[in-house]
């Protein structure tokens, strides 16, 4: 069994994966015959699979996902606005994926994890590592069109927005996440 904070947290992860999948689904519909079409489509499919994996994990723990209103990454738009082009989409994705993999890695270190939860975290993290790798490579490939400094500046803007979202607007989330992974807030918010 899992406690209410853990149920909330796994439901929150699930919502984030659903939101990521829908976001990438929209992106992949707009890019058409683009050199990154394959990577974008695989990314979209992976995030949908992750939503299913959390759903299945919760089911195996005798729980149903909670219906939560607002995903973590929805709040980027309030802070920084929507990405204006594919380069900015990938800059936002790089920052977000780093946040995700960092959070999942911390969660994996939590004491007394249900085996289903640690197995799900490990499976998803394998995919998230690939997400980070392809997005990082794709951004490098865009240096020729945008310039390295412009790409770096976009990543830095999203990094700042991510810090704002994490520290200012999701204090309730951070507290629940911190209780779930058994770490203090300082360790979680860095
Ligand atoms: Fe994911
Ligand atoms: Fe991902």
Kindly state the tokens that stand for 28.
């992949």
pLDDT digits (tens, 9 = 90+) for 119-160: 999 999 999 999 999 999 999 999 999 999 999 999 999 999
- Ligand nearest 24 Cα, by number? 2
In this prediction, residue 168 carries a pLDDT of: 64
Domain ranges of the chain: 4-181
CB-based contacts of 30, cutoff 8 Å, min separation 6: none
Are 95 and 159 within 8 A, CB to CB? yes
Q: Residues in the chain, how many?
A: 190
Kindly state the tokens that stand for 145.
């069109």
In this prediction, residue 112 carries a pLDDT of: 85
**pTM for this structure?**
0.89
* pLDDT band (50, 70, 90) for residue 183: low
pLDDT digits (tens, 9 = 90+) for 2-19: 888 889 999 999 999 999
CA distance 183 to 177: 9
**What distance in angstroms lies between residue 151's CA and the mean position of ligand 1's atoms?**
23
**What distance in angstroms lies between residue 127's CA and the mean position of ligand 2's atoms?**
7
CA distance 118 to 150: 38
Average pLDDT over the chain, rounded to an integer? 89
Give the percent of the chain with pLDDT over 70. 90
- Ligand nearest 135 Cα, by number? 2
Burial string for 104-124 (b: 16+ CB within 10 Å, else e) reads: bebbeebeebeebbeebbeeb
**What distance in angstroms lies between residue 101's CA and the mean position of ligand 1's atoms?**
9
- Half-sphere exposure for 56 (CA within 13 Å, toward CB): 12
pLDDT at 115 over 70: yes
In this prediction, residue 186 carries a pLDDT of: 45
* pLDDT band (50, 70, 90) for residue 73: confident
Distance of CA 8 to the CA centre of its chain: 16
- Ligand nearest 134 Cα, by number? 2
**What distance in angstroms lies between residue 50's CA and the mean position of ligand 2's atoms?**
9
Q: Report which of 153, 176, 26, 188 is spatially closest to residue 80, judged by C-alpha positions.
A: 153
Which CATH architecture does the domain made up of 4-181 adopt? Up-down Bundle (1.20)
In this prediction, residue 147 carries a pLDDT of: 97
């Amino acid at each position: 069994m899992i406690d209410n904070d853990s149920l909330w947290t796994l439901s929150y992860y699930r919502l984030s994966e659903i939101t990521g999948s829908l976001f990438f689904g929209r992106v992949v519909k707009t890019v058409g015959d683009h050199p990154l079409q394959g990577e974008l489509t695989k990314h979209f499919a992976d995030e949908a699979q992750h939503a299913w994996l959390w759903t299945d994990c919760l089911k195996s723990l005798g729980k149903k996902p909670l219906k939560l209103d607002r995903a973590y990454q929805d709040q980027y738009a309030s802070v920084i606005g929507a990405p204006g082009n594919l380069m900015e989409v990938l800059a936002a994705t790089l920052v977000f994926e780093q946040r995700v993999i960092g959070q999942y890695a911390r969660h994996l270190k939590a004491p007394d994890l249900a085996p289903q939860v640690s197995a799900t975290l490990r499976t998803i993290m394998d995919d998230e590592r690939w997400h980070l790798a392809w997005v990082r490579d794709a951004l490098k490939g865009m240096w020729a069109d945008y310039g390295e400094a412009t790409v770096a500046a976009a990543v830095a803007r999203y990094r700042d927005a991510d810090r704002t979202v994490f520290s200012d607007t999701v204090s309730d989330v951070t507290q629940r996440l911190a209780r779930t992974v058994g770490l203090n807030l300082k360790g979680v918010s860095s």
